[in-house]
A and B are shown apart, each in its own frame.
Chain A
Amino acid sequence: MAFERDHDLNLEATELRLGLPGRAEDQPTEKNTPFSGVRGSKRALNEDDSKTKDFSNALDTKKSDQESVPPTKAQVVGWPPVRSYRKNCLQAKKTESDLASGIYVKVSMDGAPYLRKMDLKVYNGYSELLKALEDMFKFKVGNYSEREGYNGSEYVPTYEDKDGDWMLVGDVPWEMFISSCKRLRIMKGSEARGLGCAV
């Protein structure tokens, strides 16, 4: 096998840089600048991924290697390696106005084998949220009207609010919704009928 012949590796002559393989040899290296490892590797991740909205804007997708250290601290996914239930525990003491982090809620759909998580902050309103739900769970939600709820589908998006009540998604203003929504549930079938699905 060809790659086994590289026993000596001769890595000095073919020294790899932090850039993508196949780039020009005279690229300046980022070895000793702080965050270089972070930025170099994040280049690959920071493309069109809604999850990257968690990263501060200090990390961007520019190819230039000459950037100076970002002034604010960039939060890297999974670093430091502290499990989420520990972070949640400590953050219970902090105020609710930590709006830099997303509002992740669990989303369940009747009949689906496992739940998903969504960041409500990513969406600007109900239409974006519903579209995302439709994409995620492969269903159609029907047309919403205040009087009749969701018309034309057996699926109804509902949410549990701070009081523990199950509400129809769409009734209250968007800002009020995202501050009171604890979890989402896509109801199906006869259970949905009671919640304003006009049939």
Chain B
Amino acid sequence: MLRMANSFPEEVLEHVFSFIQSDKDRNSISMVCKSWYEIERWCRRRIFVGNCYAVSPRMVIRRFPEVRSIELKGKPHFADFNLVPEGWGGYVQPWIVAMIGAYPLLEEIRLKRMVVTDDSLELIAKSFKNFKVLVLSSCEGFSTDGLAAIAANCRNLRELDLRESEVDDLSGHWLSHFPDTYTSLVSLNIACLVSEVSFSALERLVGRCPNLRSLRLNRAVPLERLANLLRRAPQLVELGTGAYSAELRPDVFSNLAGALSDCKELKSLSGFWDVVPAYLPAVYSTCPGLTTLNLSYATIQSPDLIKLVSQCQNLQCLWVLDYIEDVGLDALAASCKDLRELRVFPSDPFGMEPNVALTEQGLVSVSEGCPKLHSVLYFCRQMSNAALLTIARNQPNFTCFRLCIIEPHTPDYLTRQPLDVGFGAIVEHCKDLRRLSVSGLLTDRVFEYIGTHGKKLEMLSLAFAGDSDLGLHHVLSGCENLRKLEIRDCPFGDKALLANAAKLETMRSLWMSSCSVSYGACKLLGQKMPRLNVEVIDERGHPDTRPESCPVEKLYIYRSVAGPRSDMPGFVWTMGGDSDFKPHKLNII
């Protein structure tokens, strides 16, 4: 066998491997034998690190010397909802510094929930001569000065995508740093920026980049000037408007409508802040071609929404506010038979009373009318087991089902029962379910269902649910493919966690906040499981100043081959004695 493997010239194997791009497959290949491991590691070009603390930059570089593209994720998902205190970590700087020497030909950096400084951006701009793609998703820590460095230095830049990052917006002047000779822009997303960029610089930039496919503007770009911008880029596939409001003037309207109708390739629209409904018909010509529509900032009412979506027969992905109401979702179900993904966001998340006529019925309609629907995020105020049963039966193809009933502990509004049976139906019928978020009144029963049926479940989010450790035990012992578990405000404590400690090494991470896990249990877990980083996050001061039985505020557990990190702020501690730690080699990349 060994002789057979060695009789293939390396070049041939490398060529074969080059057709295999997925990380999972690459990992499998590398485990066939030592020589395949060696060949594979020299020709792997893309690295995905789902948790930047699971491995150190040095380890990555040592194993994969020829990387061109790296993707890193930092903070846990609940950081999106302000549950992770500022200063927790997720700094990209050590990675950048390490990669400058090791990967001079690096082309792509994609970061999610990481802290990126202007220093980091400057280093990227000046060190990687062939740099092409920068995607900063939900990142923070940098200012428009850093963006200016990127603009000024990256001659081969193709993509600059700042999705939902928090940028210290000093001024819009950074855009003017793209030199006149720069023409390679393909994708620009500045929707999260507040400051006005120089409009003439933007127009000139758009005008001289013939390969521009995706342009997502920020709110400050006025609607009156959009038409001229579009005329310079009729080849656009994705457009994010700025504020969608202007004085009602027929010339502005017809100019805009004309420019939009000339964009024959347009498949995706977003933006739509401050919508003036009278201007909506300007986009009608694009509707039949649209596959993605993001109206989640558009504060327009259901009649206008209905008029719009009814014309989008090829729509695959819709993000919208609950202004769409049940009646709008009925229309959606009737018109958009190709719909795959739906997200309905709350327009008044903190109001006590419903402000719109959106109920469980809307979701039932869509699950009935849209046979390809597989991904849902739905905020509503009432739900019933009967509706969930109907939804599960209508649509067993869900891969992602996230339901958020706004008020915690809300029972079935018809029967006043917990919603265990309803969610149970979802996991039972939807055999390919990979991601689930539950809400409403839920007992340990629902976790029994999840543990029994959620065999493909990879990510589970729990809040204000369950009665006891039995709930957590069902999940940890039953969900074989669980990678990420995030829990807040559930009565889960030490027992289930300690009894399922080994399970945690098979997962990327576990987050628990406002639960009942004691400091003593955290210490024990940290000591017994050297391949896990058990981080206690507590802003009340060192846990040693409280009894061992006292529950910790927040707990973040993740597997790592890099050992405890050294960049923690004063309110985070890693459990387990340093003297006990010996790094183990795990093939987790």
Contacts and interface: CB of A to CB of B under 8 A. Distances in A.
Given A16-B468, A44-B514, A114 B115 contact: yes
B141 A84 contact: no
A169 B489 CA distance: 40
Interface stretch (A4-12, A144-152, A189-197): A4-12
Contacts of A93: 299
Contacts of B93: 113
A14 to B, nearest CB: 7
A85 B273 CA distance: 12
B49 to A, nearest CB: 21
Given A3-B524, A44-B551, A83-B81, A116 B495 contact: no
A181 B540 CA distance: 29
Interface stretch (B39-47, B342-350, B427-435): B342-350
B168 A113 contact: no
B516 A45 contact: no
B515 interface: yes
A123 interface: no
Interface stretch (B232-240, B303-311, B403-411): B403-411
Given A11-B468, A20-B550, A82-B349, A4 B81 contact: no
A123 to B, nearest CB: 18
A199 interface: no
Prevailing SS type, chain A contact patch = loop
A62 interface: no
A84 B84 CA distance: 14
A3 B495 CA distance: 8
Contacts of B299: 90, 93
Contacts of A42: 514
A7 B495 CA distance: 10
B172 to A, nearest CB: 13
A1 B553 CA distance: 26
Contacts of A115: 141, 168
A166 to B, nearest CB: 12
Contacts of A90: 299, 347-348
Interface in A73-102: 73, 75-87, 89-90, 92-93
A123 B144 CA distance: 30
Contacts of A9: 469-470, 473, 495-496, 499
Nearest to A108: B168
Contact of A113 (B141, B489, B498): B141
A15 B78 CA distance: 29
A106 interface: yes
A21 interface: yes
Contacts of A92: 274
Given A11-B470, A37-B464, A37-B490, 13 more contacts: A6-B499, A9-B469, A16-B468, A16-B491, A21-B551, A37-B491, A44-B550, A78-B488, A80-B379, A90-B347, A93-B299, A106-B168, A117-B86
Interface of A: 1, 3-4, 6-7, 9, 11, 14-18, 20-22, 31, 34-38, 40-42, 44-45, 47-49, 73, 75-87, 89-90, 92-93, 106, 108, 113-117
The 6 closest A-B pairs by CB, nearest first: A78-B81, A41-B514, A3-B498, A22-B549, A37-B464, A114-B141
14 contacts: A4-B499, A9-B495, A9-B499, A14-B495, A20-B516, A21-B549, A37-B491, A76-B489, A78-B78, A80-B406, A81-B80, A115-B168, A116-B87, A117-B86
